[in-house]
Amino acid sequence: MSQSHGKVVVGALAGAFGVRGEVRLKSFCAQPEAIAAYAPLTDAAGRTYPKIRITGQAKGALTARVDGIATREEAEALKGTQLYAERDRMPDLPEDEFYHADLIGLPVHDTGGALLGTVRAVHDHGAGDLLEILAPGSTSTVLLPFTRAAVPTVDLAAGRIVADPPEGLF
């Protein structure tokens, strides 16, 4: 999940389902149907989606009725739109679990205290999360495995991450 001003991406509109304004909805929540409980949702442009009603499942997505989307054309036009929930509406996570939004922008230091860079994004390609880190004064990024060995400390209260990257990564 990424963030936009105190918000967390909880899903995305994935196009129309049927001809009466229902949408295909990809949920990024641990329990996919929970996305409806976080409404009202907003998109990056600031449009508000006040209510979401899950109507079923389609291949790889939920089907839903979203207030404000009434036609197939409207649903198709919004395909790919990310949906944000207010960060303070999200449940607290167990220790050692983090919302991606809480990690993005944090400085990353090595175990000696030297700044390695800042977290630009968090990626999950199926084999575990990767922190995309932008080094100071650089335009290229480094992907750091988000494992206990490579990232022994995430201190949200202090706003920093301590990393012990594999040799030669930085």
pLDDT digits (tens, 9 = 90+) for 16-54: 999 888 999 999 887 889 999 999 999 999 999 999 999
Please state, rounded to an integer, the average pLDDT across all residues of the chain.
89
Average pLDDT over residues 73-80: 94
Distance of CA 110 to the CA centre of its chain: 25
| Contact between residue 14 and residue 35 where contact means Cβ atoms under 8 Å apart | no
Q: Is the pLDDT assigned to residue 127 strictly greater than 80?
A: no
Please give the pLDDT value at position 3.
42
Average pLDDT over residues 119-124: 88
* 122: β partners: 131
Assigned token pair, 43 = 């998109």
Please give the pLDDT value at position 4.
41
pTM over 0.85: no
Q: Is the pLDDT assigned to residue 5 strictly greater than 50?
A: no
Domains defined along the chain, listed by start: 7-89 (2.40.30.60), 100-163 (2.30.30.240)
Q: Is the pLDDT assigned to residue 69 strictly greater than 70?
A: yes
Assigned token pair, 151 = 């990232």
Average pLDDT over residues 91-112: 85
Q: Is the pLDDT assigned to residue 158 strictly greater than 90?
A: no
Please give the pLDDT value at position 71.
94
Terminal CA-CA length for the chain = 25
Cα dihedral value 143, 146, 149, 151, nearest 10: 90
Which among 68, 86, 84 is positioned nearest to 22, based on CA atoms?
68
Q: Is the pLDDT assigned to residue 121 strictly greater than 60?
A: yes
Q: Is the pLDDT assigned to residue 2 strictly greater than 50?
A: no
Within 10 angstroms of residue 44's Cβ, the number of other Cβ atoms is: 12
Average pLDDT over residues 82-96: 83
* 133: β partners: 119, 142
